[in-house]
Amino acid sequence: MFTEKIMDKLKIEATKSSPEISFDSEDNLLEIKGVSYPANIEEVYAPVFSWLENYLEQLEDQEVAVNMEIIYFNSGSSMIFTDFFRKLENSVNKGKKISVNWIYEEDDEDSLEFGEDFQEDFKSLRFNFVQNDFRKLDL
Amino acid sequence: MKKTMKTVLLAGRGCKPRPADVNWIYKDSLEFGEDFQEDFKSLRFNFAWNDKTALPDSFFIWMPKEIVGGDIFFADFFEDGFVMAVIDCTGHGVPGAFMTMLAYSALRRIVRDEGCHDPAQILKKLNFIVKTMIHQNSERVSDDGMDAAICFVSGQWSVDNGPLSAVHDNEQRTADNERQITFASAKMPLIYVHNGQGEVIKGDRQSIGYQTADLDFDFTNHVVKLERGMSFYMFSDGFEDQLGGENGRRLGMRRFKNLLKKNAELPFEKQQELLLQALKAYRGEYERQDDVTVIGFGF
């Protein structure tokens, strides 16, 4: 039988073509970090979405931070992130407190723009644009 | 390897393919493997026109990452001008291959059979065909689609049995004044360089064919009057998205645009060579993540 137990944490290690994913329902912190262009994109993200659904269902009025620090994502991943943000926005519309921190490298205006594009698509989901100048882009 | 290349080239010349067929020549060539592709990447798409070239000032980079690529190049020439398109399909393996076939045949149907030469209209029709065809079965698990850029270059081009007369004809000069390029795109920019200035036309933020794609969406036509010395570039995101450099970051739009701008005055063959060199140097030991397509042409 499928148990009622809710997973506290989801941790997926990064690979050459997929990001590190760490979702934590105790800290209410969802982090996706790295690159995303896996060939088996549905396999990679299926557990992410099933975890997320469970999590959003049991979520009450805690503040949730979603940290997106993506160096590169392909168009398939773009669709995945679109789905991801749509689910978050739907929850926001139901009164949940979720905001996204879109973290981009200093000088990487493309990344900033990608984030701004998502903000435009999901207006009721709050995006904070955070410049990460820890590692500079080589020029 | 050299011998095989020659055979394909000769076959290409012998049957005088139209530019739109060049894609299939490349596709056929894929069975020869990646080395073959690497050798052929510098081939200009106008190679099949013998002495009468369609676009004397042009280059064409087309490097699929795997055997079955997701990038398509399409061109077709008419009496009132020519249509050129770059399409980047999502999906890998069989679904990806299916998408490229579908996109290619839909495009051909719209442009050649229906005679639609208006880029915004072409995109709308493409959206309709692709979406209704691939989502007939709502049980489909994956949601695939494409980004696309279409341009139409107007002008009194004379077409006799296929090849166009060269742009340099005296008759053509008068027509030059009225020539313009109309560009529309679904999430794929166009860059043009004129007098040392690089301009980016971003296109619409609406993809094609996905379940969420809006069938009523009207794409925007952007019109640029053609002037001597202008260079135009259409491309999939593979070039700018290449990871590399010291920190494994994207090559990026700014760097890509600067590369195009810096070299825009050079002969197109040279531009192509420099672009490929720059890509290789930036990539270093990193793998190619995506298909790379860049088309450059000038007037």
Residue holding tokens 């049991």?
Answer: A58
More confident residue, B233 or A139: B233
Q: Answer whether A101's CB lies under 8 Å from A68's CB.
A: yes
Tokens of B45: 């798409």
**CATH 2.60.40 at A9-37+53-132, yes or no:** no
Domains and CATH numbers, chain B: 66-228 (3.60.40.10), 238-284 (no CATH)
Work out the pLDDT band at B41, boundaries 50, 70, 90.
very low
* Cβ–Cβ below 8 Å for A82 and B290: no
Q: Which residue has the higher pLDDT, B30 or B215?
A: B215
Q: Is the pLDDT reported for residue B11 higher than 80?
A: no
Instruction: State the DSSP code for B159.
Output: B
With beta carbons under 8 A apart, name residues in chain A contacting B237: 74-75
- The reply to whether residue A109 touches residue B253, judged by beta carbons under 8 angstroms, is yes
Residues B275, B278, B281, CA angle at the centre, nearest 5°?
150
pTM above 0.95, yes or no: no
Residue that wins the pLDDT comparison between B205 and B45 = B205
Tell me the residue type at B63: M
Would the ipTM clear 0.90, i.e. be above it? no
Q: Across the interface, do B212 and A37 touch by the CB < 8 Å criterion?
A: no
Strands (E), chain A: 9-12, 20-24, 29-36, 63-73, 97-105, 126-132
- Tell me if A107 sits within 8 A of A137, measured CB to CB: yes
Interface of B with A (CB under 8 A): 88, 90-93, 141-143, 145, 147, 205, 207, 210, 212, 237, 240-241, 243, 245-250, 252-254, 287, 289-290
Nearest CB partner across the interface for A138, out of B88, B92, B247: B247
Using the predicted structure, report yes or no on whether residue B140 has a pLDDT greater than 50.
Answer: yes
- Strands of the sheet containing B71-78, edge to edge, are B71-78, B81-89, B146-154, B180-186, B222-225
Instruction: With cut-offs at 50, 70 and 90, classify the pLDDT of residue B247.
Output: confident
Q: β-strand A29-36 against A63-73: which pairing, if any?
A: parallel
DSSP state of A94: T
* DSSP tag of B109: I
Alpha-carbon distances, residue A11 vs A43, A73, B240 (angstroms): 15, 19, 30
Is there a contact between B249 and A71 if contact means CB atoms under 8 Å apart? yes
Specify the pLDDT at position B139.
59
